[in-house]
Structure 1
Amino acid sequence: MAANARNGYVFRPREAARPDHEKRIQALDLARRLPALTLSARQAAASAQAGLHGRRRAGAGENFWQFRPFIPGEAAQNVDWRRSARDDRLYVRQREWEAAQVLWVWADLSGSMNYCSPLSAQSKLDRALILALALADSAVRAGERAGWLGLTRLSAARDIVDSLAVALVAEARLNGELFEDLPQAAAPLRPREKAALIGDFLVEPAAFAACLQRLSIQGARGHVLMVYDPAEEAFPFSGQTEFYDEAGDLLRAGRAEDYVAPYRARLAAHREALSAAARAQGWTFAVHSTVRPASEALLNLRLALTADGTR
């Protein structure tokens, strides 16, 4: 949602331009944003890493965690005989649970993501980029491989944030496919791979559901984070107001306050439709306001993606 009103909530659509010229403008804008955003992404990743510290748990993995008493009825091959020989009890060597070894990230960079009201200090686009890059960095720190869905290969390199940023700018300059509001060219995810999709998802629920179904056809799972500006939820507009969409189409409202109730009802229904589509594929779904700390959303994403099952 975008509005141009005398109450200060202003987001003007771009003037009509040739597709190649518009693509160039978007690529240059992305290149301008990224240096500061990569720094914010690293800071968010470091903060989330501190929040994850101490959250170890048992599961399938390679790293030793602890010994626990043997439970009658479980397989005898689980017994650690060397440790058991030092005591009069049987013990099992328990390994630390490890998160998925593959994580794909994706962020919506389409026009509607540029919206930033006076209620927030950061646009949806900037927040989505920070979260996607920070999530990839956090995954690599945890020993996983990460990549940008439909754009890059998987990597476990420590410079993952820089390499993704370079790839984003290069792809934007070439063909502009980054500016679609849903992943377009991504192949189905392999079994046990996970993905995190971050955007405002102001799309038809049917298109959203079809996208998740295509990605999940082989049994892969993931998480959807719907980023929103607080004005998009509160709808603080009144009096004569002009609303624009990202294509520049205009809606004039004589009394914007008359739209509050139907708008909020439609927003709630839209979110529920997206959530239902995610649940149908075994994915999790959450919403995040740009006035909340990025580290908070990142920590919740990491916990959701490393859960044994999906909620």
Structure 2
Amino acid sequence: MLWVDDAASMRFSGGKRPSKLRRAQTLALALAVLAVKGGERAGLAQLAEPPKGGRGQLIRIADALMEGGDVPEYGAPRPQVMPMGSRAVFLSDFLGDPGPLTDALTSAADRGVTGTLLQVLDPDEEAFPYDGRTVFESMSGAVRFETLKADRLREDYLERLHARRAQLRDLCARTGWRFQLHHTDASPEAALLALYTALEKRR
């Protein structure tokens, strides 16, 4: 089972790099292709139907991943179908409210579902390379903040980012999931291999 966060925050790119969303979509579809070619079934958590095999299913997953529309600032997993004992990958920046994610993983663990959280971030979100006068605006445009001394925000921002990552790791440890981090300037092939290997070990 795959869940790709398609919220507005995932559309961010700090440079000539793919957006977080495009990287997550690419990795998810590649995982689905590998699973189906290996004789497994693949499914998308947003869809009502259970995981299936075959080329037709890959087309359905690809179509669903590319669907547009109005989206919230941050995403939250609400899987409709999580078969008992299945394996899953959730791809997101995980910067929104952690409550729904905690509920989803707790429910998954109760059903014997194991998997991996892949946090996808742009390098600028890790480095916070901003100084002086800076205007910060959310991807949806709903939030806008201007400061004359952006560098003074760096320490507090990085502390909160590291605290969120520690929270994600703890959640994975409690539910039997794995946590992985991927930056959009890194090799997608390496991330795909790590995810596929983690899923294979869960068999």
Q: What TM-score do the two structures reach when normalised by structure 1?
A: 0.60
Q: 1:270 aligns with which of 140, 164, 169?
A: 164
8 Å contact kept, 2:74–2:96: no
Report SS of the residue matched to 1:139. Answer: helix
Label 1:235 to 1:287 Cα distance change in 2 as closer, same or farther (>3 A). same
Following the alignment from structure 1 to structure 2, what is the Cα–Cα distance between the partners of residues 206 and 159? Answer: 34
Q: 1:205 aligns with which of 77, 81, 98?
A: 98
- Which residue of structure 2 lines up, in the alignment, with residue 254 of structure 1? 148
Superposition map of 1:276-287 within 5 A: 276-287=170-181
Label 1:177 to 1:191 Cα distance change in 2 as closer, same or farther (>3 A). farther
Q: 2:39 aligns with which of 125, 138, 143?
A: 143
Percent identical among aligned pairs is 33
Gaps of 5+ in 1: 1-103
Label 1:302 to 1:179 Cα distance change in 2 as closer, same or farther (>3 A). farther
- Which residue of structure 1 lines up, in the alignment, with residue 200 of structure 2? 306
Superposition map of 1:1-311 within 5 A: 104-118=1-15, 120-151=16-47, 152-169=49-66, 172=68, 181-187=75-81, 189-247=82-140, 248-308=142-202
Provide, for residues 235-279 of structure 1, a one-character-per-residue CA deviation record: whole Å limited to 9, x for no partner: 000111111224421121211111111111111111110111122
Provide, for residues 219-239 of structure 1, a one-character-per-residue CA deviation record: whole Å limited to 9, x for no partner: 211111000000000100011
8 Å contact kept, 2:7–2:71: no
| Large movers: runs of 4+ above 6 Å | 177-180
8 Å contact kept, 1:212–1:281: yes
8 Å contact kept, 2:88–2:116: yes
8 Å contact kept, 1:105–1:197: yes
Following the alignment from structure 2 to structure 1, what is the Cα–Cα distance between the partners of residues 181 and 135? Answer: 26
Could you tell me which amino acid in structure 2 is paired with residue 204 of structure 1? D
Pairwise CA distance, 1:122: 0.7
Following the alignment from structure 1 to structure 2, what is the Cα–Cα distance between the partners of residues 302 and 218? Answer: 21
Report SS of the residue matched to 1:271. Answer: helix
Could you tell me which amino acid in structure 1 is paired with residue 185 of structure 2? V
Following the alignment from structure 1 to structure 2, what is the Cα–Cα distance between the partners of residues 186 and 198? Answer: 16
Label 1:141 to 1:130 Cα distance change in 2 as closer, same or farther (>3 A). same
Could you tell me which amino acid in structure 1 is paired with residue 191 of structure 2? A
Report SS of the residue matched to 2:43. Answer: strand
Following the alignment from structure 2 to structure 1, what is the Cα–Cα distance between the partners of residues 33 and 73? Answer: 22
Could you tell me which amino acid in structure 1 is paired with residue 84 of structure 2? P
Deviates more, 1:248-257 or 1:123-132: 248-257
Report SS of the residue matched to 1:146. Answer: coil
Following the alignment from structure 1 to structure 2, what is the Cα–Cα distance between the partners of residues 113 and 236? Answer: 19
8 Å contact kept, 2:114–2:176: yes
Report SS of the residue matched to 1:291. Answer: coil
Following the alignment from structure 1 to structure 2, what is the Cα–Cα distance between the partners of residues 180 and 212? Answer: 17
Gaps of 5+ in 2: none
Report SS of the residue matched to 2:161. Answer: helix
